[in-house]
Amino acid sequence: MSVEVRIPTILRTFTGGEKAVHGDGATLQEVLDDIDTRNPGLKERIVESETLRRFVNVYVNDEDVRFSGGLKAATADGDVVVVLPAVAGG
């Protein structure tokens, strides 16, 4: 068991085209660190200066992590993390 991280189309260049990758960790930060070891550069597209990038939304089990601790949001085996780039413009 591990945490499933669903990858948006634009970041699948870091995962060899895979729609989802798996990682281990008790927090979102640890999971992202773990998957970055096998998919170098992926974390940098989600995290900037130790916080989530402004135009990236991350959900752990349907919960927007901005309201549940950000990178410190708890994760457990079987959880599903969804990364969604914000659709925005000017």
Partner 1 sequence: MLHDTPLRGITPVDPGSVRRARDFRRSQLRSTACACGLTLRIAVVTRATAPNVTAVLKIAREHVDAMIAHARDDHPDEACGVIVGPEGSDVPTRLVRMINAERSPTFFRFDPEEQFALYKEMSAAGEEIVVVYHSHTATEAYPSRTDISLASEPQAHYVIISTRRVRCRSGSGQRTVLPHRRWCGHGGGDRRHGIGPGGQSLAGVARHTGETRCQ
Q: What single-letter amino acid sits at 31? A: V
Q: Least distance from C-beta 28 to partner 1, angstroms?
A: 16
Per-residue contact flags (x/-) with partner 1 for residues 15 to 54, judged by CB under 8 A: ----------------------------------------
Q: Least distance from C-beta 82 to partner 1, angstroms?
A: 7
76 vs 84, beta carbon nearer partner 1: 84
**Among the listed residues 13, 38, 44, 74, the single contact to partner 1 using CB under 8 A:** 13
With 0-12 CB in 10 A as exposed, 13-18 as middle and 19+ as buried, what is 23? buried
90 touches partner 1 (CB under 8 A)? yes
Tell me how far apart the alpha carbons of residues 63 and 58 are, in angstroms, rounded to a whole number. Answer: 8
What one-character DSSP code corresponds to residue 50?
Answer: T
Q: What single-letter amino acid sits at 78? A: G
- 33: alpha, beta or left, given left = phi > 0 and alpha = psi -120 to 50? alpha
> What residue ranges bind partner 1 (CB under 8 A)?
8-10, 13, 55, 57, 59, 62, 64, 66, 82, 84-90
